[in-house]
Amino acid sequence: MQGIKNAIVDMYENLPVPFGLVRYGVAPDHPEVKYHALTRQSQNCQDKFTEVASSPNFNFIGNIRVGQDVLLKSFMEHYDAILFAYGASKDRKLGIPGEDKLAGIYSARNFVGWYNGLPEFSNLAPRLDVSDTAVIIGQGNVALDVARTLLKDVDTLRHTDMSEEALATLSKSKVKRVHVVGRRGPMQVSFTIKEVRELMRLPSVAFEPIDRGLLPADVSSLPRTAKRLTKLLLEGSSLSVADAKRSWALDFLLSPIRFMSSETANSSHLGSVDFRAMKILGADQFDPTAKVEGTDEEQSIPTSLAFRSIGYQSEALPGMRDLGIGFDETRGIIKNDYHGRLVSPVQGANSAKAIPGMYCAGWVKRGPTGVIANTMEDSFATAEAIIADWANKTPFLGGGNGWEGLREEVTAKGTRTVSWQDWLKIDAAERSRGKLLGKEREKFTNPQDMLACLD
């Protein structure tokens, strides 16, 4: 809206409420993650979005299922440009025996969505009272979020916007030990220093020391970030495992090969996770880009509770293929020129042309990597591409009346849409619910309850 004079932006959202990953993906005990240095003072992402939404040239249309409530081709008849920024709606699977058959195995994405009040996972009901040991497969920041949530004193979470159901479930948790397992070594991990440091400093929680041979002997010669991380791992926690109420471990060079059922009468429940020991290839095992391969050695960790945290993946929207929009199923992204312009192959795999007026941003553009700041920067880049194309009179779509042109099609199907003013009513109701509980807000976990605020 700043770069193109008189531009009008309509934002369509599947849920009745805005903010997406900021609302449902950021850990409740990490409100500072919602801040980004947009100005000289840190400004809350939600506050910045609210500022944008207050413009008369912006329209929020919530509770819309694109491809169902309104067909994708209908958008093309009413807009100059369409920007896809719908993120990653599913998680990657391991594809190993027992994954889809045994109880006690959860997706980290689903678990994070559940404790954040995402309606899609409101009925997850994870059983945290069945095992004193939890295994998390994957060593990214989401895996560490899950570990921290399982290990943290639940009373320290009661003032956050974590759902009351999640707090009640965590208060009954029997988990005392958490394994965070990865295929590669400590010099190839994807988590950040901040996440590890916070786990190291949890009261009454100990870190189990890792094998010193997995870390370089001369730490001082490492690049700055690697040096800081290595020192942190070597220092560990202030408590020993023997003196702590709970503990956690980073288990390296293990690749999951099967989930085994319990040997008790309940054979439909998880009993252990089997791993194959891996080894690092190449002369330099401390190379951050080093690859690994399997060995003949196997290892088993007994547990009745496991989480899969190996990444997210986007899906194509209904109707994309019919409109000639290419989707890379392997990478889980819309095919684009890496600046955000959608492209379609024309004369072979290495030749592509831009699709007029079609753009993408965020995870559906580059894949599910990075933090909120990375996604915002990526979105700015796509916006700059749109502004440049408009200034250069690059072909766009035919234009039209935007939401006003689509409203009749949507209402004819009986869909109740949510405006920005409607969202403010839902927001006020959630804050009122939270105030009664001594917290910022208590989110509605059912869209129907959100809509009921508008009656």
Q: What is the pLDDT of residues 182-232, one digit of tens each?
A: 999 999 998 999 999 999 999 999 999 999 999 999 999 999 999 999 999
CB burial string 397-433: b at 16+ within 10 A, e below? beeeebbeebeeebeeeeebbbebebbeebbebbeee
User: Given this model, what pLDDT does residue 368 score?
Assistant: 85
Q: Is it the case that residue 100 has pLDDT exceeding 80?
A: yes
pLDDT digits (tens, 9 = 90+) for 223-265: 999 999 999 999 999 999 999 999 999 999 999 999 999 876 5
d(CA 416, CA 62): 9
User: Given this model, what pLDDT does residue 391 score?
Assistant: 93
Question: Global pTM?
Answer: 0.91
Q: Is it the case that residue 442 has pLDDT exceeding 80?
A: yes
Q: Is it the case that residue 156 has pLDDT exceeding 70?
A: yes
User: Given this model, what pLDDT does residue 37 score?
Assistant: 35
User: Given this model, what pLDDT does residue 455 score?
Assistant: 87
Angle, CA of 164, 166 and 168, to the nearest 5°: 70
Average pLDDT, the chain: 91
| Torsions phi, psi for 226 (to 5 deg) | -65, -35
Residue 33: band (very low, low, confident or very high) from pLDDT cuts 50, 70, 90 = low
- Is residue 140 a contact partner of residue 191, using CB atoms and an 8 Å limit? yes
User: Given this model, what pLDDT does residue 34 score?
Assistant: 61
Residue 32: band (very low, low, confident or very high) from pLDDT cuts 50, 70, 90 = confident
Residue 279: band (very low, low, confident or very high) from pLDDT cuts 50, 70, 90 = very high
User: Given this model, what pLDDT does residue 54 score?
Assistant: 85
Any bridge partners for residue 313, and if so which?
Answer: 90
Residue 30: band (very low, low, confident or very high) from pLDDT cuts 50, 70, 90 = confident
The DSSP code for 243 is G
Whole-Å CA distances, 237 to 13, 169, 198, 204, 206: 43, 27, 10, 10, 6
Q: Which of 130-134, 172-176, 397-401 has the lowest mean pLDDT?
A: 397-401
Q: Which of 10-14, 110-114, 357-361, 400-404 has the lowest mean pLDDT?
A: 400-404
User: Given this model, what pLDDT does residue 298 score?
Assistant: 97
Residue 164: band (very low, low, confident or very high) from pLDDT cuts 50, 70, 90 = very high
DSSP symbols for 250-291? EE-SEEEEEEEE-SSS-TTBEEEEEEEEEEE-SS-TT-TT--
Nearest to 452 by CA among 399, 419, 421, 416: 416
Q: Beta strand 177-181 with 205-207: parallel, antiparallel or unpaired?
A: unpaired
- Is residue 187 a contact partner of residue 233, using CB atoms and an 8 Å limit? no
pLDDT digits (tens, 9 = 90+) for 37-84: 333 344 567 777 888 888 889 999 999 999 889 999 999 999 999 999
- Is residue 163 a contact partner of residue 444, using CB atoms and an 8 Å limit? no
